[in-house]
Amino acid sequence: MHNKKIGELELIRYIRKMFPKRRREILAGIGDDAMVLGNGMVVSTDSFVEGVHFDFKYFKFYQLGFRCMAGSISDLAAMAAEPVCALVSLYLPDKVRKWDVTELYRGFRAIGDRFKIDIAGGDIIGSPFWGVTLTVIGMTRKPLLRSGARPGDGLYVTGYLGLSETGRLALKKKRTARHFPASIRRHRFPIPRVAEALKIRPNATAGIDTSDGLSTDARHLAEESGVKIVIDADRLPIHPEVLQMTRRIKTDPIRFILSAGEDFELLFTARRPPSIALPLTRIGEVKKGRGVWLTCGGRSRPLEPSGYEHLSGRK
Amino acid sequence: MHNKKIGELELIRYIRKMFPKRRREILAGIGDDAMVLGNGMVVSTDSFVEGVHFDFKYFKFYQLGFRCMAGSISDLAAMAAEPVCALVSLYLPDKVRKWDVTELYRGFRAIGDRFKIDIAGGDIIGSPFWGVTLTVIGMTRKPLLRSGARPGDGLYVTGYLGLSETGRLALKKKRTARHFPASIRRHRFPIPRVAEALKIRPNATAGIDTSDGLSTDARHLAEESGVKIVIDADRLPIHPEVLQMTRRIKTDPIRFILSAGEDFELLFTARRPPSIALPLTRIGEVKKGRGVWLTCGGRSRPLEPSGYEHLSGRK
């Protein structure tokens, strides 16, 4: 009867079927990065657990706070919403050091201040493990959903993919850390693309933040929009540090990028590319059909999702 | 350096100091039952952890879902808000039975449907333990805060206090369960006082739902309003089952009621009592000063909070 194989996607499909959208106030619900209400309010929750999402061997509490809050704000960016405030639900183990809690909240504040976010509530409970659920609230005039991609659109990504995972690997092998400054910075202190999201909004038809690996993130866009997405492997922007790391670990950089998550870049579809300050790359296109395909050296093949599924806890 | 004695209240005080309210959109934040925005949106989060808030020995997943969602909706009732939707953050242990998750969501739906709530999102993560964080969203025209009590107001409570704790104790001793039907129903399937909250709103000056025990709940009202609250022990409504239970466990019923939590009744202050369908009792009054006092047989004494503090995990 025990079933280790229930994945997050299967559960979400099931829950979605169980809870069809009924209230008119709700413009977007289960299946998108965040919930959107008719009045422009965007609400998103994100949870992080010790041993699954973070390891205190590599993370200090300040970094943890920063990173969790950055990831949550990124969900607002994915909807082209401006952050307003956050609620913090803290699962605290018995042996809590006050200093650790202080540092965690300092991390929340460091990134929150950058986006003028107030911590406006939450709750704190005793628990056998460290865990954090962040609820972030934002406002948007026109939400960027996952469901608007149309055949003929281009597929774009901001910045570089795979940097955060490169940073994580570099931190694991301490000797190599100094060769990967940009990756480690991205892993510890990612900056969500809020300003960029607002800039691309007029051009974009659908969007998501890259948190689960390119193949999975693209699949979300394809599924919710009912289209086929073709990623052009030859166009994927590869950061020098990502290239260096994939050489060291003897992995194909394309394969690496397809499954490496938590860069918190924006992946979106648009007819014409918008103009933003960040590097912006057209990495594919939207076609009629279903699923995600990868073109490499002129040949196409369907791409299975290889991203992080949080329930299975592994790549 | 380890400090087991950090209580929830101390941490909340600390966090509040660290995060002063800065954004004008936020009408009420840390320190109230929920956050209120200027547009009338009310958002609250509540977390529940296996072994701390519930024990699968006494709770089936359906009941657990029902009870957690009811507790969260009660936070909206406490603000006189009408529920709109909820986000579910689920911490799932590795060995998950699909049936258990289904039952949990059936419980969410049973109480959610009663209040026309949509489950509009959330997230699911792998975790070493079961945990649930619910974020509920509601709308209010005029929020009922904890901070409006004024000297001269009466202190009122809906229904009966101590029923849920009586139910919990009755379930622990299976032989006695059949003598406590109302208490067990309240413990398993509490119904938040949403309709009553909307009715009392025009009369009420401050309010809270009874979740941490009368003495602690009254203290929240006194602290946030900057007043003294005097509870009249002789007026506390005592349900026959509560009386029966306190006789069995040889406890004073007044002391029991002061610390027994999670009844999800409304505790509020008002100049004149409103008219509602539920039993409504004037149990004390608001005076100039500070703190919570108990009057018993004409004599008054200051009351220390004896309610449930979730971090310490005991009464």
B71 and B178 together in one domain: no
B127 and B192 together in one domain: no
Closest residue in B to A116 (Cα–Cα): B23
Q: CATH number, domain at A199?
A: 3.90.650.10
Closest CA to A263 of A171, A172, A157, A105: A157
A89 and A168 together in one domain: no
Confidence of residue B310 (pLDDT cuts 50, 70, 90): very low
Closest residue in A to B13 (Cα–Cα): A121
Confidence of residue A97 (pLDDT cuts 50, 70, 90): confident
Confidence of residue B97 (pLDDT cuts 50, 70, 90): confident
* Confidence (pLDDT) at B313: 38
Q: How far apart are CA A140 and CA A144, in angstroms?
A: 9
Q: Is position B146 within any domain?
A: no
Statement: residue B280 has pLDDT above 60:
yes
Domain limit, last residue, from A111, A139, A167: A139
Domain, as residue range, for B108: 8-139
Chain B residues within an 8 Å CB radius of A102: 14, 18
More confident residue, A58 or B226: B226
Rounded to 5 degrees, what are φ and ψ at A295?
A: -100, 130
Statement: residue A227 has pLDDT above 60:
yes
Q: Is position A312 within any domain?
A: no
The whole-angstrom distance between A248's CA and the closest CA on chain B is 30
A168 and A132 together in one domain: no
Q: Is position A145 within any domain?
A: no
Rounded to 10 degrees, what is the CA torsion of B90, B95, B97, B100?
-40
On whether ipTM exceeds 0.90, the answer is no
B16 and B83 together in one domain: yes
Confidence of residue A113 (pLDDT cuts 50, 70, 90): very high
The answer to whether B133 contacts A313, with C-beta atoms less than 8 Å apart, is no
Q: Best of B13, B26, B46, B119 to disrupt the A interface by mutation (most A CBs within 10 Å)? A: B119
Chain A residues within an 8 Å CB radius of B43: 43, 87, 121, 135, 137
Q: Do the Cβ atoms of B63 and B52 come closer than 8 Å?
A: no
Q: Is position B43 within any domain?
A: yes
Domain limit, last residue, from A139, A162, A191: A139
Statement: residue A308 has pLDDT above 80:
no
Q: Is position B310 within any domain?
A: no
B167-186 pLDDT, tens per residue? 999 988 877 788 999 999 99
Q: How far apart are CA A40 and CA A27, in angstroms?
A: 9
* Confidence (pLDDT) at B17: 83
Q: Best of B74, B85, B103, B116 to disrupt the A interface by mutation (most A CBs within 10 Å)? A: B85
* Confidence (pLDDT) at A34: 84
A118-155 pLDDT, tens per residue? 998 888 888 888 899 999 999 999 999 999 999 999 99
* Confidence (pLDDT) at A6: 59
Q: CATH number, domain at A103?
A: 3.30.1330.10
A194 and A58 together in one domain: no
Domain limit, last residue, from B114, B139, B164: B139
Statement: residue B3 has pLDDT above 70:
no
H helices, E strands: number in chain A:
9, 13
A102 and A190 together in one domain: no
Residues 6+ apart with CB under 8 A from A208: A33, A78, A146, A217, A220, A221, A266, A267, A268
Statement: residue A286 has pLDDT above 70:
yes
Confidence of residue B307 (pLDDT cuts 50, 70, 90): low
B131 and B190 together in one domain: no
The answer to whether B128 contacts A53, with C-beta atoms less than 8 Å apart, is no
DSSP string, A255-276: HHHHH------EEEEESS----
Output the CA torsion sign for B188, B194, B196, B200. positive
Q: Is position A144 within any domain?
A: no
B43-54 pLDDT, tens per residue? 999 998 877 776
Q: Is position A309 within any domain?
A: no
* Confidence (pLDDT) at A151: 98
A162 and A134 together in one domain: no
The whole-angstrom distance between A223's CA and the closest CA on chain B is 17
B134 and B18 together in one domain: yes
* Confidence (pLDDT) at A1: 29
What is the percent of chain B where pLDDT is above 90? 66
A183 and A119 together in one domain: no
A13 and A124 together in one domain: yes
More confident residue, A104 or A3: A104
A30-39, A148-157, B72-81: the lowest-pLDDT one: A30-39
Total number of domains in chain B: 2
Q: Is position B313 within any domain?
A: no
- pTM of the predicted model as reported, rounded to 2 decimal places: 0.88
